[in-house]
Structure 1
Amino acid sequence: MTTAIGITLALLGPFGAATMPKAETVLVLEPSDDNPRNSEGDFVHLDDGRILFVYTHFTGGGADHSEAHLASRVSSDAGRTWSDQDVVLLPNEGGCNVMSVSLLRLDSGAIALFYLRKNSNEDCIPYLRTSTDEAKTWSDPIRCIPRQGYFVVNNDRVIQLHSGRLLIPASLHGLPGKGFFSRGIAMCFLSDDGGATWRQSASTLEAPAGSKSGLQEPGVIQCEDGRLMMLCRTDQGCQMRSWSNDGGDTWSPAEMTNIRSPVSPASFERIPKTGDWLLVWNNHTGIPKELEGKRTPFTLAVSPDEGRTWHHLQDLYDDPDGWYCYTAITFAKDHVLLGHCAGDPKVGRLSRSKITRIPVDALYR
């Protein structure tokens, strides 16, 4: 396994970041009485130039197990403006809901739609549907985890590796007869035949013995040399990290990083224009005591060396009552689009979502 390397944050301003001046809110999905929560979406670029955004549209309440379906909006101008009305993309087919979307343009050219089908606190499984007509119609669902259990897979988490392998980072939180448990066990599910069949990684990962959260909501990114880096949210005051040299089958023991955070996920993707990595998370380096544990501020950073060091830290939002998380990332021309939760105690912490549009050059201020 790869030897651990340090992560350095180039700290700027209060709590470690300056404020980003050029961000633009281009869509706000407000909750309502019959739609109490909108959250956990992802983007895909269509062949005609439009961008499709699919997210979880709750109807039966604002809790994670409330009834919900998948809804969509589209943009025809690189994310500047969005359609006004929700379109149901996938009706609820779970005992509770369907949620946590990942969208991928596969090497085959098809669009892959991954989502969780949640039936109970012991049964939550990712499924895959594909479209060969640019999201007009979808295939029958394929179950992506053969075993039973409650598996958490965040939105915008499924990736396709250089080899063509599909990888789902997941955290196990429940088993039949044992109910839900908060201490997550991280692992990956892998497919080498375009999603037709799946198997579990050889490695499973756990946090230190004193951790109540375990390793939750893992995300994975691939380095240019083929290695994979995983980050997981924890209750250890930071993101924890693991490495794989074999396409996600085996992983190094999880280690602490200097990416300080509450129990909240980080999101990260490569910037096509520069090849650098973009990290989006709640930076809690030097956080005031009254903000400890809160999912604020909403911070961006850039790494020129594939996660060894992070620079250009900027707070996108810093409302002390804000709740910023579950970020989907895509790039449109010379801008980055972030689809993310942006709630507060008044409307519900996870109830409101936004799409924020930022010039790529502004990431380097």
Structure 2
Amino acid sequence: MPTAQPEPLLTLEPSKEAPRNSEGSLVELRDGRLYLAYSRFTSGGADNSKAQIAKRVSADGGKTWTDDEILVDTEGRENVMSVSLLRIDTGEVLLFYAVKNSWGDCKLYLRRSADEMRTLSDRVCATPSDGYHVVNNDRVVQLSTGRLIVPAALHPCADGTQQTWSARGISRCFLSDDRGRTWRKSRSELQMPGESGTGLQEPGVVELLDGRVYLWSRTDKGCQYESFSTDGGETWAEARPSPLASPVSPASIKRVPWLDDLLVVWNDHSGKHPFPPGRRTPLCLATSGDDARTWIGSKVLEGNPDGWYCYTCMTFVGDSVILGYCAGDKQVGGLNRLKVTRVPKEWLYS
């Protein structure tokens, strides 16, 4: 029999009412429905254009979806965006999202739901430090100890204007040991060794099988950089190049439930597949059986050389992983189209 192939489930095209749909997160509800939250922009496609957090729900495995509904309206002076959904060990679902006020003020907030996203609590700040903190969508994790980790990149800004905003990111983490009710900054942070325009941007974290925490960040050095923590994200070893060759584009990594492998989704610029230098294409998947030391089986999910694929979220349902990602191009803009695709386990490991 032929190998099952990836199946597109949903494409949210830009429109006059929503010129950009991007940066989503997915969670499976207790009754089996798929719940998608994402950034819905209303006045343009720039990162600081007006935006809301919208939701769509599917009761048939992603074949059909409800119309969009507003989950969080604009709370900051600029917007809200970059959502993470996380089911924690209490059974609650936590909703995280960025609130932007200026080039010098961006923080992550969370609301919690004990009734499968029917209602949400008042918000709590998960990055209680001054400054502009970038936290990508679908980034918050819970460790086996119960600790929650928010990986963030601080971008210094002297006066709150674009003119003094620094693109050179400083990776740090925010930690909670009471299931998200209170938060504190990690004891150490990470700077890019040597010269770099980007520094360490848009970090992500995943727990390794030996209990260490693995952190990766996008850079302008031709690859993701990596670091390790042996104390649950409190302190970090010096960042170094990882095996993941990439442009200045984020990677997404999660633990595969079937085999305890790690799964990465990123723009593979190792040379295994054709790629236009500097562009966020192709979008590829690979797995690691040795906790991120090596990655094997890179496969192209999206290969349009004019495409722009990034900001991937993932959730595992049955024998598939469901991905949501920006899938723009030169016609609609790189970040303005959101796509959801089901990837069968069979295809991933074929």
TM range (shorter): over 0.9
**Structure 1 counterpart of 2:13:** 30
What TM-score results when the alignment is normalised by the length of structure 2? 0.96
**Structure 2 counterpart of 1:151:** 133
Query: Is 1:67 equivalent to 2:50 in the alignment?
Result: yes
Over 3 Å counting, the alpha-carbon distance change for 1:58 and 1:278 in structure 2 is same
Query: Is 1:124 equivalent to 2:124 in the alignment?
Result: no
Residue type at the aligned position of 1:357: R
Question: Alignment identity in percent?
Answer: 52
SS class of match (2:295): strand
Residue type at the aligned position of 1:263: V
What is the distance in 2 between the residues matched to 1:303 and 1:258?
Answer: 11
Contact 1:121 1:174 in 2 (8 A): no
Contact 2:41 2:49 in 1 (8 A): yes
Over 3 Å counting, the alpha-carbon distance change for 1:207 and 1:21 in structure 2 is farther
- How far the C-alpha of 1:48 sits from its partner, in A, is 1.3
- How far the C-alpha of 1:177 sits from its partner, in A, is 2.1
SS class of match (1:183): coil
- How far the C-alpha of 1:288 sits from its partner, in A, is 8.9
Residue type at the aligned position of 1:309: T
Match of 1:53 among 36, 39, 52: 36
Contact 1:123 1:174 in 2 (8 A): no
Query: Is 1:251 equivalent to 2:236 in the alignment?
Result: yes
What is the distance in 1 between the residues matched to 2:338 and 2:80?
Answer: 17
Alignment of 1:83-232 (within 5 A): 83-175=65-157, 177=159, 179-232=164-217
| Higher relative contact order, chain-length normalized (CA < 8 Å, sep 6+) | 1
What is the distance in 1 between the residues matched to 2:295 and 2:281?
Answer: 19
Over 3 Å counting, the alpha-carbon distance change for 1:104 and 1:288 in structure 2 is closer
What do residues 154-190 of structure 1 show as CA deviations (whole Å, max 9, x unaligned)? 0010000111001000000134526421000000000
Alignment of 1:269-284 (within 5 A): 269-284=254-269
Contact 1:148 1:175 in 2 (8 A): no
**Structure 2 counterpart of 1:40:** 23
Over 3 Å counting, the alpha-carbon distance change for 1:164 and 1:85 in structure 2 is same
Task: Give the paired residue count.
Answer: 345
**Structure 1 counterpart of 2:289:** 304
SS class of match (2:152): strand
Residue type at the aligned position of 1:28: T
What TM-score results when the alignment is normalised by the length of structure 1? 0.92
Query: Is 1:331 equivalent to 2:316 in the alignment?
Result: yes
Contact 1:78 1:333 in 2 (8 A): no
Residue type at the aligned position of 1:85: D
Residue type at the aligned position of 2:104: E
- How far the C-alpha of 1:138 sits from its partner, in A, is 0.5
What is the distance in 2 between the residues matched to 1:105 and 1:328?
Answer: 14
Residue type at the aligned position of 1:75: S
